[in-house]
Amino acid sequence: MFDATFQSPHRSAPLAVSVVLHGLAASALVLSSLLITIFSFIWIGTYTALGLWRAALIPLAYQVASLIGLAFFARTKHYRAYRASQVAMFLLLPFLLQWSLGGFVESGAVALWAFVAPLGALVFYGPRQAIAWFGGFLALVALSAAIDGVLPEPSEHIPSWVVLAFFALNILGPSVTTFALLEHFVRSRDRAHRLLAAEQERSETLLLSIFPRPIAERLKISQDVIAERSEEVSVLFADITGFTPAAEQLPAEEVVVLLDEIFSAFDELVARHGLEKIKTIGDGYLVAAGIPTPRADHAEAAARLALAMRQALADLPIASGLSLRVGIDSGAVVAGVIGRTKFGYDLWGDTVNTASRMESHALPRTIQVTERTYRRLRERFILEQRSHVFVKGKGEMTTYVLLEERAQPSGAPESRPANENPVTASGSLSKRA
């Protein structure tokens, strides 16, 4: 038996989010590295002009190492190594530069650039790892304060206006870098969330096209067994007669287009009548009324749907030469979801089997129902009785053919004597009820 199967998109959503955030962190790291590389030209030029060659070599070394690391990352995609090297340089090199210039004041507090490391670690690593980087930053600040008075002064005098300018630049530079880093990350994250939300909406639509909404909601939040028994359900089986010989004469694409047109029309009718499509079986179509959402008029709803489906097929130009044969039974069913990695929602029970037998033993272009369905329909629908119908696996049965809905509901069923228009051995129509 064919089961509609589906792998829940919500099981893979955490992985998708992780991949997206990883890409955002990598792009933010590259952006911050390039910004610091550009700012380094100011320090290199200024220290070179002042003859502070040792101090100039430190930002130059960062530029060279950063560009080599970026080329390595672009070639190998080894993000972890690139991340560790960049954050380590963010943290250590500003303090080395400050110590080479004689301390906080002489360097213009260039160690402020090191705060980019723990702040960036929040984005590149996450909160837990960022705590360690922030601890390292605090330790280096404490060490710098402890040794500030014993650091040797640079061999060349640094003019006071240069120190003042570098104070301003060392406040401006880290501020611009961290703001650009966080703005890029937040903007990209929001864009990724919008894309993920759109993808989730498409997944929701696909999920709801396969499972009833209550079942889909339970699948998203639970891995428990989903099963239920209902005593009041009507099951409708429909089969397109004439489809198999027609399909043998058509190209594969036209067969699929034909079946898609027919089943799409049926799907619209099922949604309009508030019933549940369970699955398709070749050119067969299975619908349930009264499950998973109970309804007292399940048999009437199934009957109205059957009449509408038959008319819809007759009205489709593409379905010329085809007709519909329908079987309906009412009673108890068991419904549930089976599968581990892929899921299938299906119905089981005698009601399902009997509805299938009603369809397979129905006359062409007719809607055949069981006696227990007839009892639920006779006040609002016109039906004709078929007696002595031999049904495989059930024996001889009395069944009824659904003709139409009554124009005005009747308070009492119409009936005729059992000996009026006796049924022939072939099971032809005998009386109207």
pLDDT for the residue numbered 223: 66
Burial class (CB in 10 A: 0-12, 13-18, 19+), 347: buried
pLDDT on residue 3: 41
Mean pLDDT to the nearest integer, 193-210: 75
The 10s digit of each residue's pLDDT in 377-405 is 999 999 999 888 888 888 888 999 999 99
Q: Is the pLDDT of residue 420 over 60?
A: no
pLDDT, one tens digit per residue, over 279-336 is 888 889 999 999 888 999 999 999 999 999 999 999 998 888 899 999 999 999 998 8
Tell me the per-residue pLDDT of 154-186, one tens digit each, with 9 for 90 and over: 656 778 887 888 888 888 878 887 787 778 778
Cα 107 from Cα 283, distance rounded (Å): 81
- Identity of the residue numbered 151: L
Q: Is the pLDDT of residue 29 over 90?
A: no
Lowest mean pLDDT among 260-264, 317-321, 359-363, 425-429: 425-429
What pLDDT does 122 receive? 84
pLDDT of residue 320: 85
370 has a pLDDT exceeding 80: yes
pLDDT band of 221, cuts 50, 70, 90: low
Residue 19's H or E segment, with its range, is helix 13-49
Among positive and negative, which fits the CA dihedral 378, 381, 386, 391?
A: negative
Q: Is 385 exposed, middle or buried (0-12, 13-18, 19+ CB in 10 A)?
A: buried
Specify whether the CB–CB gap between 323 and 348 falls below 8 A.
no
Cβ pair 219, 5 in contact under 8 A: no
- pLDDT on residue 426: 38
pLDDT, tens digit, for every residue of 74-88?
A: 898 888 898 999 999
pLDDT classification of 203: cutoffs 50, 70, 90: confident
| Per-residue pLDDT at 365 exceeds 70 | yes
Q: What is the mean pLDDT of the chain?
A: 82
Q: What is the pLDDT of residue 30?
A: 85
Q: What is the pLDDT of residue 157?
A: 72
Closest CA to 291 of 338, 345, 217, 225: 345
Question: What is the residue whose two structure tokens read 């672009």?
Answer: 74
User: What is the structure's pLDDT at 247?
Assistant: 87
The two tokens of residue 387 are: 């007696």
CA distance 321 to 319: 6
Which pair of tokens denotes residue 197? 């939300």
Check whether 9 has a pLDDT greater than 60: no
Closest CA to 174 of 57, 23, 43, 26: 43
Between residues 86 and 218, the one the model is more confident about: 86
Amino acid at 259: L
Strands (E) across 250-366 are located at 276-281, 284-289, 323-338, 343-348
Question: What average pLDDT score do residues 202-219 get?
Answer: 70
Residue 37 has pLDDT above 80, yes or no: yes
Q: Which of 18-22, 341-345, 368-372, 406-410 has the lowest mean pLDDT?
A: 18-22
Higher pLDDT, 17 or 338: 338
Tokens linked to 315: 């009205």
pLDDT at 311: 94
Cα 288–291–294 angle (5° rounding)? Answer: 125
- Smallest Cα–Cα separation from 360: which of 331, 393, 338, 316? 393
Residue 5: predicted pLDDT:
40
Average pLDDT over residues 343-353: 86
With cut-offs at 50, 70 and 90, classify the pLDDT of residue 412.
very low
Q: Nearest to residue 303, comparing CAs of 326, 280, 323, 283?
A: 326
